[in-house]
Amino acid sequence: MIKLTATPAAQAISEYRQRNAEITAIQDADQRRLAESELREARRLLVMDYSAAFFRRLISQPADGAEALVWFWFNHFNVLWQNDLVGAALPSYIDDVLRPNAEGRFRDLLLGTMTHPAMLVYLDNTRNSSGKMNENYAREILELHTLGVNGGYNQADVRETARILTGAGLRPLEPVQWAPKQVPYLVQRGEFLFDPRRHDFGRKDLLGQTIPGKGFGELEALADRLSRHPATARHLAGKLCLFLVGEEAPPALVEEAARTFRETSGDLAAVLGLIRERPNRRDAPGPKTFKEPQRWVTSALALLSGAVPVKNAQLPLGWLSALGQGLFGCRTPDGYSLRGGDWLSAGQLAQRFELAPQIVNTLPRLAETAMPPEQIRASPAVGALEATLGPKSRQALTRAKGDAGRLALLISSPEFMYW
Amino acid sequence: MPMAWRLWAAPAVHPGPRFLFVFLRGGYDALSALVPYGEPFYYEARPNIALARPDPANLEAAVPLDHRWALHPSVSDALKPFWDAKQLAFVPFTGTGFVSRSHFQAQDWVELGQAPEARPASGSGFLNRLLTELNGARGSATGVSFTPTLPPSFHGPVPVANWPLSGSRRGKINPGLEELILAMYDEHALEDLVRDGLGLRREISLQLQQEMQEASRAALPAGSFALESARMGRLLCDHPEYLLGFVDVGGWDTHAGQGAARGALSSRLRDLAEGLQALARELGSEWQRTLVVVMSEFGRTFRENGSRGTDHGHGTTLWVLGGGIQGGAIRGEQGGLGSGDLHQDRDLPVLNEYRDVLAGLLAQHYGLGSEALARVFPASSPRNLGML
């Protein structure tokens, strides 16, 4: 039985790589397969434990709180844990890169992901080297992480970005005898290595500017250039407003957020401060945004559990998967859609109706202090929500079977599907 | 009130032709499925991942269709019989009218199906517009999407139900609660979706229950497209009002180590081919009036990359299947595949705009006039490629 170390988070990456290398050397095919499945299981357990802790933190805070922003950044810089060492690297990716910078500078966030094994493995940059190019990561940096799909770059820019990224990968497990002239160019942080032997040191022309070949400094120059680009400001401001304010965010707010992003060269605290300062759109009349699955589940838990902390995260994590938005479950690098309307479908609604009674019925087992339905029903939060319902929903509630049935109906109501 | 659920109890009203769109998300490597073995440059450009030239003695060799093209050996068992029965055609050099190497932009583009210069970020999908046209003539036609979320191709004014068939969950909602839910959504903007969702969910739950009881059907591996397709086939048989169907299959973004006769891509292709076979089998006599189109948002680079995979390209190969088609042939405009023939010196060029191809197919399949077609695929030039 293998166990990957949970703290310090980065240690699991080294352990995974080491164990993986040992497994590759096992001669007997059956033994090798057994060892491989053990390692995969250890990776799964690490991610499950981490996910549960993450989810508990997420629901202990407001919907636009600090951990929700960490979720936002993970979704923005999405990686897939089932992919090789990415699962072992996931806690470090979040704890060492995303959380510390979630309200810091966008440039640091970007450079942090560019030098983390989770991202480099997920988007194949460990295979990108001078003369043997792989442009997968380069394209997604421009399209998804910074400029956005209509951000004004072309295929040549993708190519040049890929050239800059050559050599950014993992340290070789075997000791390397570095030539003296290579030593000044080496940059190593944990399992990350900038390998000058694999880097293309030629000059790069990116987005109309020249980046001279100088090694790792090119990655820093790339992060600087992209985080100061107006298209990045627009792209990121739009996504943050969508996440924090919803689909009906006023265009003027998005515009102002983009300007702040641009003028501060991506100071996230300033941008977030601006967005959060605005009066709450949800108190105003007018169109609302359909809740994406995670928002529906977390808002239901917040409503039903009151201030009582939820101790068991396994069931809610299962609900998220059933609704198509499993935590850390998006397989493609674009992350989940933040547009509520993209989640609105017949299947989604039916699935929520199916889950609603389960959520209500399992709540007494989830919360740290048992909460009987009649007590939840009498809570001020439930009362406040019921007061906002339209006549048809209110009428239906009076016909519900018992308090549990009434609560299930409440979180199935059309009013509760929107925020 | 959506017609589909009133008809639920008594279907068999709708003997219309059926169209199923199978969308391969991630940009499948068309040159590994339909192999241009007659092109020496294919072997030059892909030293590690090309499929071997046809050779009866070599089980890992491509299986020839004509003097130029061959099938991947992993799909030939399932697909060659369709080809021989003239129920399968390929249209290589197909794709979109503008070049985007972004998966997400290109997928939206294909699904919305607007004119190349429109480049819309949103709007209705071509399948929903097609439904609108079919309803004009036939009334109660609807569509179904076998996906957890409604795909952009079905976005639009006609409500369409969706439910994924890949899982094995069989939940229950008690009838009393269901009735109260319907009361809450009475005359609400979401009412149709709520009714469709509950109805389809109930139906599929019953089907999965039957499946569990019939041992023979457990033979298909769980989680496979073949299992999903068999379920699709049965559901479509029971519900003739579902004229249009959508399903997507992922896992095609093979940037590294894609393999050749064996490997990751080979397994995906095999599962896809076996799924199409299972679909035709379950549809039985319905297969005769079913049209299936398989396509992806773009093709991949003609040359292999530095990690024995392929990067995002442009032109791709469209598959057309159906019991009543004129298949057994490579259709559409054909180009050369020498090093000088590539688009931007890296991809298959697009000689057959997919909207023109689909418009041509749908025109004949549904007898749509040019005005209706122009509403489904604005500013397209429908092309009859002789497949129907």
Query: To which residue do tokens 């164990």 refer?
Result: A19
Question: Which pLDDT score is estimated for A391?
Answer: 97
CA nearest neighbour of A231 among A144, A159, A115, A322: A144
Give contacts of A354 with chain B, Cβ < 8 Å: 171-173, 201
Here the CATH number for the domain that contains residue B107 is 3.40.720
The A residues from 359 to 418 touching B (CB cutoff 8 Å) are 392-393, 395-396, 399-401, 405, 408-409, 412-414, 417
Distance from CA of A409 to the nearest CA of B (A): 7
Question: Which pLDDT score is estimated for B203?
Answer: 85
Residues shown for chain B? 388
Q: In chain B, which residue's Cα lies nearest the Cα of A343?
A: B149
Name the DSSP class of B296. E
- A81 SS3 class: coil
CA nearest neighbour of B47 among A198, A132, A155: A132
Q: What is the distance between the alpha carbons of residues A235 and A178, in angstroms, rounded to a whole number?
A: 41
B187 inside 8 A of chain A by CB? yes
- A331 SS3 class: coil
Give contacts of A353 with chain B, Cβ < 8 Å: 173, 177-178, 181, 194, 197-198
Question: Which pLDDT score is estimated for A296?
Answer: 97
Count of the separate structural domains present in chain B: 1
Residue B7 is encoded by which pair of tokens?
């008809």
The answer to whether residue B66 is domain-embedded is: yes
Helices (H), chain B: 3-7, 30-33, 40-45, 73-84, 103-112, 126-138, 175-184, 191-213, 225-238, 264-283, 354-366, 370-376
Q: Does the pLDDT at position B144 exceed 90? A: yes
Residue B307 is encoded by which pair of tokens?
């990690």
The continuous run of DSSP H or E covering A194 comes out as strand A192-194
Q: In chain A, which residue's Cα lies nearest the Cα of B313?
A: A155
Q: What is the DSSP string of A267-317?
A: BHHHHHHHHHHS--GGGSSS---BPPHHHHHHHHHHHHHTTPPB---HHHH
Q: Does the pLDDT at position B6 exceed 70? A: no
pLDDT-derived band at B205 (thresholds 50, 70, 90) equals confident
Mean pLDDT rounded to a whole number for chain A: 94
The answer to whether residue B382 is domain-embedded is: no
ipTM > 0.85, yes or no: yes
Residue A363 is encoded by which pair of tokens?
């709540």
Q: Does the pLDDT at position A284 exceed 70? A: no
A81 contact partners, CB below 8 Å, separation of at least 6: A43, A47, A87, A90, A328
Asked if A136 and B149 come within 8 Å (Cβ–Cβ), the reply is no
A270 forms bridges with which residues in the sheet? none
Asked if A346 and B100 come within 8 Å (Cβ–Cβ), the reply is no
Residue type, B219: A
Q: Does the pLDDT at position A415 exceed 90? A: yes
pTM over cut 0.90: no
The answer to whether residue B383 is domain-embedded is: no
Q: What is the DSSP string of B339-377?
A: GGGSBTTTB----EEHHHHHHHHHHHHHT--HHHHHHHS
The answer to whether residue B381 is domain-embedded is: no
Question: Phi first, then psi: what are they for B263, rounded to 5°?
Answer: 120, -170
Q: Which of A127, A139, A344 sits opposite B256 (nearest CB)?
A: A127
Q: Does the pLDDT at position B211 exceed 80? A: no
Pairs across A and B, CB distance < 8 A: 146
Range of the domain at B366: 3-376
Q: Does the pLDDT at position A70 exceed 80? A: yes
Question: Phi first, then psi: what are they for B353, rounded to 5°?
Answer: -65, 130
The continuous run of DSSP H or E covering A111 comes out as helix A106-114
The answer to whether residue B56 is domain-embedded is: yes
The B residues from 21 to 40 touching A (CB cutoff 8 Å) are 25-26
For residues A114 and A218, the answer to whether their CB atoms sit within 8 Å is no
Name the DSSP class of A95. I
Asked if B201 and A133 come within 8 Å (Cβ–Cβ), the reply is no
Q: For the segment B255-291, what is each residue's pLDDT rounded down to a tens digit?
A: 999 999 999 999 999 999 999 999 999 999 999 999 9
Question: Which pLDDT score is estimated for A282?
Answer: 56
Interface test with A, best of B147, B184, B242 (most A CBs within 10 A): B184
Asked if A134 and B256 come within 8 Å (Cβ–Cβ), the reply is yes
A47 contact partners, CB below 8 Å, separation of at least 6: A81, A87, A90, A328
Q: Does the pLDDT at position B115 exceed 90? A: no
Q: Does the pLDDT at position A100 exceed 80? A: yes
Residue A362 is encoded by which pair of tokens?
């399992």
Give contacts of A412 with chain B, Cβ < 8 Å: 181, 184
A267-271, B98-102, B121-125, B133-137: which has the minimum mean pLDDT?
B121-125
The answer to whether residue B293 is domain-embedded is: yes
Q: In chain A, which residue's Cα lies nearest the Cα of B199?
A: A350
Question: Which pLDDT score is estimated for A327?
Answer: 98
Residues B323, B326, B330, B332, Cα dihedral to 10°: -120
Name the DSSP class of A144. I
